[in-house]
Amino acid sequence: MVATTELSGITDAKAAAQTEVMARSESLIELSHDIHDDPELSWEEHRAAARIAELLASAGFDVTVGAYDVPTAVEAVLGDGDLTVAICAEYDALPGIGHGCGHNVIAAAGVGAALALAPVARSAGLRVKLLGTPAEEHGGGKVALLRAGAFEDADFSMMVHGMTGTDTSAAGFTGTAVDRFEVTFHGRAAHAAGMPWEAVNAGAAATLALTAVALLRQHIVKSANLNGYISEGGQVTNIIPDRTVIQMEVRARDIDEWRSLKQRALACFEGAAIATGCTWDWRPTEYPYAPVKADPDLARCWDANVVARGRTLSVNSLDGGSTDMGNVTQVLPGIHPMIAFLGENAPAHSEAFTAAAITPAADNAVLDGALALAWTALDAALDPVLRERLLAERAQRPDGATRISLEA
């Protein structure tokens, strides 16, 4: 159990949070390493969720595993202040390469931030809510939690993601919208040599559609992209297939641009079906992800706190990649900053990054990330102007406003 610390101001509060992080540094790094050494894929992160739940329960948090009917989600709550921060912790791994995106660091930093705030939450008027959010790589755990109401009581939300290279401003990461869906063409099979005229060629429809998509890709803005491949189709050369399936991905920096591009892509599939005489249908395979909309005040606070930890922010911006945290930031104030494994240099989603995510540099990122998140939450709680703004925005937010998934 964490003792409550009385505060005389923001400096006191941040010092208490730092003391807590340093006191728990070994357990936080151990958590990061344990999750790293025991990778679990999207929606299967039972052991990671249990580790997080155990650590937070031991510190006095009210913990639920399987929160909001998501089996590998965690909710851990402490405090009764009227300002609620939702700190997100991801912990899913990548197929084949383990934690090649460093979600072990994300999880440990998020847990560390929640623990750092525990002794000062009451004095700061904070309610701390750690949300363990599964399936960021594929599936959209945060979207499932949004739809279930996990963010309805939050005033703002934050998380931190590891990276190699140098630190950048929280305002500099925007990400892209991404939408993944499956298209199926239905035709009629026939012998490819003996009776091809009897066929309605689902394979030809898929090939024609992907050709149209490739041509469309050449005429869209650089900030958008289309990718697709045939995942199911003909099995042998002498049968014209009656069913072919395409997996598609649409990306764009802007939500309206993404939705427009998706409709144009769907028109390619419709045109191919008409041209070949097939029928077709499509279905989403994952929740769509929105771009990150960084709250400028929270981003400013994060930047100042990272610098206070002795780090240097570069002028580079990061707008690649996609995350379901984007959906959260579209409906309430939030940030998704990056924290560098200083001195490491490896591309994300690679075996080299998996190795980097367990180095001393990554361990330092856990501690600095946890403390910068905690300090940013304290800035929000103890800056009267920012606190009033966040509370006012929540008061004006209609019930159910966060329960969205942003499907086009």
Domains and CATH numbers, the chain: 10-175+291-396 (3.40.630.10), 177-284 (3.30.70.360)
Q: List alpha helices for 155-239, DSSP H.
A: 202-217
Give pLDDT, residue 224: 85
Series of mean pLDDT values for 10-residue runs along the chain (408 residues): 70 97 98 98 98 98 98 98 98 98 98 98 97 97 98 98 95 91 98 95 97 91 87 92 97 90 96 98 96 96 98 79 95 97 96 98 98 98 98 97 86
Give pLDDT, residue 321: 84
Give pLDDT, residue 264: 95
The amino acid occupying position 189 is: A
Give pLDDT, residue 330: 96
Q: Which token pair is 220?
A: 């869209």
Q: Which token pair is 207?
A: 């090939």
Give pLDDT, residue 2: 58
Give pLDDT, residue 6: 64
Give pLDDT, residue 222: 73
Give pLDDT, residue 235: 86
| Bridge partners for 131 per DSSP | 75, 88
Give pLDDT, residue 284: 95
Own/partner long-range contacts of 217-226 (Cβ < 8 Å, ≥24 apart): 220/261, 221/252, 221/257, 223/176, 223/252, 223/253, 223/254, 223/257, 223/319, 224/250, 224/251, 224/252, 224/253, 224/257, 224/258, 224/261, 225/249, 225/250, 225/251, 225/252, 226/250, 226/251, 226/261, 226/265
Give pLDDT, residue 56: 98
